[in-house]
Chain A
């Protein structure tokens, strides 16, 4: 059993040595425990490896800046935004359209009646109570209220 264990140990150590390198063999050997300090230099190359990864990250960041400078990321959002703006503009254009439509149906040119500030067109009409009524005959009054009736109301 003991030879088997040692053989397995040897194989593991050999495999580790082949894959990782000499420092593992040194660290695994029971006798040179003092050589564990040399394991620190082993850590040093490992530190180098992480140091290299930040170096890789940095060029990535630089690449991101480069793309932003190119305008690639800004161009992508700008296009959908412009589409949304166009859609909003289309809705804004559509909404005013219904309001002219009733005016277009009517025969009156004003659409919403004569606005305040315009002079009231004078008229003379027959009154249901008899006689003829002229608007300008009421100039001596403070005001005249013209009420347009509908139907028989």
Chain B
């Protein structure tokens, strides 16, 4: 899931990417450095947000399942992809196709 190199495509669609990691801030900063993410990488140390979205510990490993939620301007989830394994992620093209029309 190479979101970094497709970031402009999301910007062109007026879409904001927010990455979340079930880590403390230090670990999240390491992730942001490694991925050179041009979008915010948020730390969810107590996995409260992952739990709220129902993706925490789905694979029994006490971290978030790889998942993508598209939230429209009204705050409603319009599309989601919840991975069934650690490597199960949607393609960038799939995410772009499911962005709501501007």
**Minimum CB–CB distance for B27 against chain A, Å:** 7
Query: Which residues in chain B, 41-80, are within 8 Å of chain A measured between CB atoms?
Result: 41-44, 48-60, 63-80
Q: How many A-B residue pairs have CB under 8 A?
A: 198
Q: Would you call B95 and A114 a contact (CB within 8 A)? A: no
Query: Which residues in chain B, 13-31, are within 8 Å of chain A measured between CB atoms?
Result: 13-22, 25, 27-31
Bound Cα distance from A136 to B71, whole angstroms? 10
Interface size on B, residues (CB 8 A): 64
**Minimum CB–CB distance for A125 against chain B, Å:** 4
Please name 23 pairs of A and B residues whose Cβ atoms are closer than 8 Å in the assembled complex, sorted by A: A102-B60, A103-B58, A106-B56, A106-B59, A108-B58, A110-B55, A113-B69, A114-B52, A115-B77, A115-B80, A120-B77, A121-B49, A127-B40, A128-B32, A128-B41, A135-B75, A143-B13, A145-B10, A145-B18, A150-B66, A150-B86, A152-B31, A153-B35
Residues of A within 8 A of B (CB): 102-103, 105-123, 125-129, 133, 135-136, 138-153
